[in-house]
Structure 1
Amino acid sequence: MQREQIVQQWLEQIIEKQAFEIKYLPGDASFRRYARIHLPNQTYMLMDAPPEKEDCLPFVQIAAYLEQHGARVPHIIAQDLSQGFLLLEDFGDHLLANALNAQTVDAYYLQAFKQIIQLQAIPVDQLIFPKYSIEKLIQEMRLFDQWMLPDLKIEVTEKHAELLHRSYQWIIENLEHQPQVLVHRDYHSRNLMILDGENDLGVIDFQDAVVGPDTYDLISIIRDAYVQWPSQQVQKWIAEFYAMLPEQARKNRDLAQFQLDAEIMSIQRHLKILGIFVRLYVRDGKSGYLKDLPRVMWYLRQELAHCSALQDFQQFIEMEVMPAFIAKYGEYTELGDVA
């Protein structure tokens, strides 16, 4: 039986005595599919996650836990984990990404910052939220040398390998010393929804949440892989977010240290993203993310320039990686200041 037929039968059991229409939405970077379920006076969102490809359980556990603690996540209407089906509250189509411009971004980002602070204040259940382990953080950074460097035909010599290892270890030592809080892990403008009649932004795609550094979600949105803002404005946002942190998170950590922490967290995240975007194309045949590579590489270069301890790594990027990168993907330049 086709997957669509199985979906139809399941929904007929859940939505009794009402006609409904299923409209599948364009895919994303995972094996999950989404569909909007139209009833005469109501819409729902269906998540279709084949069990052999995706595990729905983390989503269900985290959604229930976050909702219980006041976070604005989609309410789960019905579920069948054995088949990989979830029927969810429909947050609509108003992505934050589509509403951002020079006039709106400050107000929306202030909402987003408040929401991050709210998430970070939620007590962590270690059975639901695993620690963002050293092994995982390093594994993510290594996606850069496993996928990006081969894509650029750059051979990782013994000298390169030693440099990468040393650089990654230095990054990890900093991340370990940052306050450890609940981290959404993909908190950006395409995963935040503007909800009709509500002040809070709707949060989606939270199933990979972990306990990790308190700068992670902040840099995910202010250095969004899909949209860029002037450096001066980004630094202002970092200062604003720092002022919103609880006293314990600012103890023995001035604004300058927090800014450095944010830069180092950004380096880790953007090394990972560069590798993931290339992998999505090379392994999975998804080319839509390649256009964002120059922006992400621009971020990485700017962040490395703020970390003197990574000067050798920065030189490797500039001298050996960038010529091949520019030849293949082009070069991104910074925007002017937002008025």
Structure 2
Amino acid sequence: MKPPAAAAMFLKSSGWADAQLSPVAGDASFRRYFRVHDGDRRAILMDAPPPHEDPRPFIAIAEHLKNTGFAAPEIFARDLTHGLVLLEDFGDQRMREHLDERPEKEEAIYRQVIDLLRQLHRHPAAPVPAYDEAQYLREANLLTEWYCPAQQLAVDAAGFEACWRALLAPVIAAQDPPVTVLRDYHAENIMLLGDNRLGLLDFQDALAGHPAYDLVSMLQDARRDVPDDLEEKMLAHYLADHSAPAAEEFRRHYAILGAQRNTKIIGIFTRLSVRDGKQRYLDFLPRMWGLLEKDLRHPALQPMAAWFDVNIPHAIRSRPIPEATP
């Protein structure tokens, strides 16, 4: 993975002329990352090439989070014309790998990440767009736009969207006032820093929405199995200061948003395979279907569960998606 052509001049103008670059594992987007070494100094170069990417939302949310007291990377330099950002290096101690090596720390770390959400939700939402019905529906429809065609399924797309509209109406009503929703709050985007701090990454798509969304993102992780008993314990921990009726409503919204998010991810992972040739994302689909089916068992989701039973029966959900041809 070669650095972008503009990187050398950008680093020189930023005071890192003699730095060496090495690639860092990226994500599912067009963004790429490089670790920048210059003697004892370390930084991360984000390559967010226009027109595919725009680093301005990342910069804005990073600055908002830092101003609110959370550990987001400091922005050292930026070149918006070429989509280059030099930012603080949070190291390599991700929550995911830390727990793989130290499973006995699981409950303590999850309690810490849930406490961070509780703290974040006490602050007014960042100045970002609302997580509105149109956005929720665009995401859910990724299932009918990508997964269903990949499985050669003719489904009731209109009924699917109508069901989501009915389910999401009370969720959206409860987003008043909204909280900052980071939207990719999971074990691969949490860095364990010194002084018992948690570093936040991958929040450029943040919206103002429901507090249950990031809780679902963490406790129904697309890339890591979270035991059911741990999910329940952490959900109860988040709801410790809620009244019984408020907790019951929150759990209902949690299940609805869990189903919405897991539906969306099945569509996204299918698109990454079919459109972008990233076949490794298909390996996550069995977990995603398991999480979605768990959410669909909530009584509030009975109409959506019925739609899935008719349109995507269980036998199809376990059927592999044909790999895209080069």
TM normalised by structure 2 equals 0.91
- Alpha-carbon deviations, 1:202-257, whole Å to 9, x = none? 0001111111011001110011001122222211211111115xxxxx46843222
Q: Give the aligned partner of residue 260 of structure 1.
A: 252
| Number of residue pairs aligned between Structure 1 and Structure 2 | 315
Cα deviation digits, residues 97-131 of structure 1 (max 9, x gap): 11225411111111101111222222235xx3111
| Deviation readout 1:36-62 (Å, 9 max, x if unpaired) | 001111110000111221111111111
CA distance in 2, matches of 1:107, 1:297: 28
Matched, 1:117 2:118: yes
Superposition RMSD on alpha carbons, in Å?
1.9
Match of 2:182 in 1: 184
Match of 1:106, SS? helix
Distance in 1 of aligned mates of 2:295 and 2:148: 19
Answer yes or no: is the 8 Å Cα contact 1:152–1:325 preserved in 2. Answer: no
Q: State the Cα deviation string for residues 175-218 of structure 1 (Å, max 9, x = none).
A: 213342111111000111011x2212100011111110110011
Alpha-carbon distance in 2 for matches of 1:89, 1:3: 18
1:90 paired residue number: 89
Q: Residue 214 of structure 1 aligns with which residue?
A: 211
Match of 1:225 among 207, 211, 222: 222
List per-residue Cα deviations over 1:57-93 (Å, max 9, x = no partner): 1111111111111111000011111121111010011
How far, CA to CA, are the matches of 1:5 and 1:261 in structure 2?
A: 47
For residue 86 of structure 1, give the secondary structure of its aligned residue in structure 2. strand
- TM-score by structure 1 length? 0.88
Residues 281-292 of structure 1: matches in 2 within 5 Å?
A: 281-292=273-284
Change in Cα spacing, 1:5 to 1:139, as seen in structure 2 (3 Å) is closer
Cα distance in 2 for partners of 1:169, 1:228 equals 30
Cα distance between partner residues in 2 of 1:171 and 1:270: 15
Q: Distance in 2 between matches of 1:325 and 1:261?
A: 24
Q: Which runs of 4+ in 1 moved over 6 A?
A: none
Deviation of 1:319 after TM superposition, in Å, equals 5.3
One-letter amino acid of the counterpart of residue 304, structure 2: F
Find the counterpart in structure 2 of residue 274 from structure 1: 266
Which aligned pairs between 1:313-332 and structure 2 lie closer than 5 A?
313-318=304-309, 320-321=311-312, 322-328=314-320
Check whether the contact 1:129–1:211 (CA below 8 A) recurs between aligned residues: yes
Q: In the alignment, which residue of structure 2 is the partner of 1:336?
A: none
Three-state SS of the structure 2 residue aligned to 1:243 is: coil
Partner amino acid, structure 2, of 1:124: A
Task: Name 1:310's counterpart in structure 2.
Answer: 301
Match of 2:161 in 1: 165
Partner of 2:13: 13
Aligned partners of 1:260 and 1:306 also within 8 Å: yes
Q: What is the aligned-residue identity percentage?
A: 35
Contact 1:163 1:313 in 2 (8 A): no
Map 1:132-171 → 2, pairs under 5 A: 132-156=131-155, 160-171=156-167
Contact 1:178–1:214 (CA<8 Å) still a contact in 2? no
2:114–2:234 CA contact under 8 A, matched in 1: no
